[in-house]
């Protein structure tokens, strides 16, 4: 029964105050929703969503410091999400393919109501299937030839933003990847394939099933044994190089 339905707790995330105010005004019309927080940037959103564990997040995509995809990437638990975006048709098709709800800016009252209805269905389990991973969303929304410019890692209460040109190498470690940069190592809960898929293949090469290398850090290749090679990095670190990895390197060197 409607009277027994639990109120859905909502967090609004948008870097523009008028946009947050408009969304809040529209949500007042929905008696089963309660706005528990409004966030003006991605860092604040990660903190507040982690603290409040809302049912639904209205999430802007294009924000400074952290964008909407990066916010999702840092969350330990994934709430239902309605993207609020000014993205073009190419990106919107990516959202649709992955069954992600979105509202195109400028936000319309009726269109938001439709997206909220879809979110209710998802929260109730009627939509079926888990939401796509942030990595899948980011890959789908990128244009051909567009690659990641930074990697985002959450370390306890800290968020590290690592420009990809500072990354020396990336190593698979069980369910994580270890991102090595300038003598520091950061662990990220993602697969090596997912991370590697977003990197520029002209700069980053998967030289082994467990290693992705920034080719700018490569000093030389040496034969280790018959049909076996190792990559010597500028810092003296050595990495195994598989046959397939060597073939990829030869295309660039």
Q: What does the pLDDT look like over 87-106, one tens digit per residue? A: 877 677 777 766 568 898 99
> Do residues 23 and 130 both lie within one domain?
yes
pLDDT along the chain (253 residues), means of 10: 67 97 97 96 95 95 90 89 84 70 91 93 70 79 87 91 97 96 95 94 96 97 87 96 94 87
Q: What is the C-alpha to C-alpha distance for residues 172 and 180, in angstroms, rounded to an integer?
A: 11
* H or E stretch covering 101: strand 101-104
| Owner of token pair 């520091």 | 184
> Do residues 103 and 187 both lie within one domain?
no
> Do residues 169 and 91 both lie within one domain?
no
Q: What is the C-alpha to C-alpha distance for residues 119 and 165, in angstroms, rounded to an integer?
A: 38
> Do residues 132 and 160 both lie within one domain?
no
Integer angstrom CA distances of residue 15 from 61, 62, 64, 97, 215: 10, 9, 8, 27, 37
> Do residues 96 and 213 both lie within one domain?
no
> Do residues 50 and 101 both lie within one domain?
yes
> Do residues 115 and 158 both lie within one domain?
no
> Do residues 89 and 14 both lie within one domain?
yes
Token pair of 225 as six digits: 């044994």
| pLDDT at residue 229, rounded to an integer | 94
> Do residues 6 and 31 both lie within one domain?
yes
Q: State the CATH number of the domain containing residue 17.
A: 3.40.50.2300
Q: By residue range, what is the domain housing residue 187?
A: 150-252
Give the count of domains, the chain. Answer: 2
Boundary-marking domain end, from 90, 123, 141 = 141
Expressed in angstroms, the distance from the first to the final Cα of the chain is 67
Q: State the CATH number of the domain containing residue 192.
A: 2.40.50.1020
pTM of the predicted protein model: 0.85
- Asked whether 46 and 66 are in contact (CB, 8 A), the reply is yes
> Do residues 6 and 130 both lie within one domain?
yes
Q: Is 236 left (phi over 0), alpha (psi -120 to 50) or beta?
A: left
């Amino acid at each position: 029964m409607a009277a027994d339905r639990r109120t859905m707790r909502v967090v609004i995330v948008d870097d523009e105050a008028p946009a947050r105010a408009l969304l809040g005004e529209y949500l007042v019309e929905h008696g089963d929703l309660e706005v528990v927080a409004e966030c003006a940037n991605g860092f604040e959103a990660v903190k507040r969503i982690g603290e409040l564990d809302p049912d639904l997040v209205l999430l802007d995509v294009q924000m400074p410091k952290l964008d909407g995809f990066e916010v999702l990437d840092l969350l330990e638990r994934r709430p239902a999400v309605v993207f609020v975006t000014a993205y073009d048709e190419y990106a919107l098709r990516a959202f649709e393919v992955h069954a992600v709800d979105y509202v195109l800016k400028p936000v319309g009252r009726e269109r938001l109501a439709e997206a909220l209805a879809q979110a209710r269905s998802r929260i109730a389990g009627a939509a079926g299937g888990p939401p796509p991973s942030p990595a899948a969303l980011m890959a789908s929304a990128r244009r051909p030839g567009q690659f990641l410019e930074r990697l985002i890692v959450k370390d306890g209460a800290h968020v590290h933003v690592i420009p990809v040109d500072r990354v020396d190498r990336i190593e698979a470690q069980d369910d994580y990847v270890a991102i090595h940069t300038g003598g520091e190592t950061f662990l990220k809960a993602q697969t090596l394939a997912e991370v590697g898929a977003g990197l520029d293949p002209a700069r980053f090469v998967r030289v082994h099933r467990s290693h992705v290398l920034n080719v700018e850090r490569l000093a030389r290749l040496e034969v280790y044994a018959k049909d076996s090679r190792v990559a010597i990095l500028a810092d003296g670190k050595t990495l195994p190089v598989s046959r397939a990895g060597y073939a990829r390197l030869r295309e660039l060197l």
